[in-house]
A and B are shown apart, each in its own frame.
Chain A
Amino acid sequence: MLENFIPPYNATVMEKFISRNAVLVGKTNMDEFAMGSSTENSAFFPTNNPWDTERVPGGSSGGSAAGIAADEAICALGSDTGGSIRQPASFCNVVGLKPTYGRVSRFGLIAFASSLDQIGPITKDVTDCALVMNAIAGHDPMDSTAVDRPVPDYTSALSNRELKGLRIGVPREYFAEGMQTGVTSAIEAAIKKLEELGAEVGRDVSLPHTKYALAAYYIIAPSEASANLSRYDGVKYGFRYPGAANAIESTEKTRQFGFGPEVKRRIMLGTYALSAGYYDAYYLKAQKIRTLIKQDFDNALQKYDALVTPTSPTTAFKMGEKTDDPLQMYLSDICTLPANIAGIPAISVPAGFADNLPVGMQLMGKAFSEETLLRIAYAYEQATDWHKRKPAL
C-alpha cells in the first residue's frame, strides 16, 4: 500500500535522533502495518532469526530486533501495540522497552491502534536502552497524547547494581499451562537471580483478568485499526487500483489489492465489532474489560515495584508454523499485550536460552516507572552474561 510513499515530514522521534547527530543506517522490515507476531506478514518478504534462520525473529518489529542481534546497528526503534517491541527482542536476545503510553510522541508513526500504540527502543543492552529513552521521551505539541511531564535522565537509574529495597511480584497467571518448559525454567532461574541481587520476591500476586486480555485486545486493536486504516483509499497517497469503473470500485479494489491478508482480516474483525448491533457486545465490553485489567495492575503494583513474567510463552517458532492459524499466532503475545491495555511500561531483557534459542524476561511497572524497570534490568544484566552471547552468523 505504501511501497512508493515518500513521507513529506519526519516523525518526532526521528527529528530527535537527527538533532543528536544520529546516523541513519536504514529502515527495517516489519509485519505490514505492524500487524503480526513473526514478520511473516511483511508486504515485502519475511525476516529470518539470526539465531536460527529457519525460525521467525518475532514481530511486528522483527527487522529491528534481528538487525540489532546481528550487529547491524547500535539501536533501533519499534512500535509496540501488543508486544511488537518486546516479543521480537525476546526472540532475538536483545533489549526492548515499551514505554508508558504517552511517554514518547507518536507523531509521524503510522497509526494502528491509537489507544495502545507506543514507540520504544530495541538495543543490545540496558544502557543503550536508557540512552535512547533520553533521546526520544517527552512532550510534543504535535501529539496530544504525549504527556507533558519532565523527562528524567534514564541513565541515572543504572548506577545501582543491587536490588535491595525493591519488591518484585510474580503474577501466577503468567506461569500457567501452555508455557514452554524451557522458558519457565529460564525465568524461574532469572527470578532466583533477582532475589540474590537483594530484591524481595513475592508470589502472592494475582492478576485475575489476565485470561480476558487476549480477547479484549483482539477487539480493541482491530476496531481502532479498521478506523485508522480507512484513510487508505487511493486518493491522497499510496497505492491506487488502476482502471476502476467508479469511485466506490476504486476504493474497494485499492484495499483488496493493496492490503495483505492479516490487515484485511483485522479490518473485517474491527468493522464487525463496531457495526450496528454488535458495538455493545464487543467494543464496549472490551473497554470495560480494559478497566478491570488496569485495576488488576493498580492493585498488584501498590504492593510491588515491578512484576516479572516471561516475555513470550515460547522461544522463536519455525517459519510457516503459525501462518495458517491466526489464533495460534495471536497467542504469542499473550504475556505482552496486557501492558498495552493498561498503558504501563514493560521491558524485555535477555534471560537465558532454551534449546539454544533466546528467552526474554519481561518486567512491568507502574505508569512512568521506566527508571525502576531499567534499574532492575540493569542489575540483572550486569549479574548475567546472556546479553553478551551472539548468534553464529
Chain B
Amino acid sequence: MKLSHEQVKHIARLARMGLSEAETEKFRSQVSAILDSFEVLNQVDTTDVPAATHSIPLQNIFREDEAHASYPQEEILANAPEREGSFFKVQSILE
C-alpha cells in the first residue's frame, strides 16, 4: 500500500492535525511501510472468527444515579489555555 501525498493530507485532515510538507512526505513513506507490514494478516482466514474488543468479558457497569460534589471550578479552569470568567474561551465558530 503506497499512500499518495494527497492521501496523507486527507488522513491528517480527518484527524484535524496539521502537518508540514516535510512531515507529510516522511509519514507517506513510513506509514506506507507500516501498512505493508500489516499485509501478513491476510494470511489468516478470519471468516468465522468473532472480534474481541476487550480481553475480558465486560458488561455495562451501572451505579446509582446520585449527585456528587464535582471538582472545584477554579482548579479545572486553572489549566485552561484561555478563559473568560467561569468559561473556557475558544475561537469563534460562527462568523
- Which A residues are within 8 Å of any B CB, using their own CB? 4-6, 8-9, 100-102, 115, 141, 144-145, 147, 209, 211-212, 214-216, 218-219, 226, 230, 233-240, 244, 246-253, 255-257, 259, 261, 264-265, 267-269, 271-272, 275, 282, 284-292, 294, 326-327, 341-344, 367
Contact = CB atoms under 8 A, between A and B. Distances in A.
B11 A101 contact: no
B90 A218 contact: no
B17 A8 contact: no
Interface string B67-90: 000011001101111100000101
Contact of A269 (B18, B31, B88): B31
A216 B41 contact: yes
Contacts of A367: 55-56
Contact of A144 (B18, B44, B61, B82): B61
B35 A272 contact: yes
A289 B34 contact: no
Contact of B16 (A8, A215, A251, A286): A251
Given A8-B71, A8-B79, A147 B46 contact: no
B11 A275 contact: yes
Contacts of B38: 215, 218-219, 282
Interface residues of B, number: 50
Given A209-B44, A287-B51, A147 B17 contact: no
B80 A237 contact: yes
Given A289-B41, A292-B49, A327-B33, 17 more contacts: A5-B79, A6-B78, A102-B56, A215-B37, A235-B81, A236-B88, A237-B80, A250-B91, A256-B18, A265-B30, A268-B12, A285-B46, A288-B49, A288-B52, A289-B46, A292-B46, A294-B52
A292 B45 CA distance: 11
Contacts of B46: 285, 288-289, 292
Nearest to B43: A212
Contacts of A288: 46, 49-52
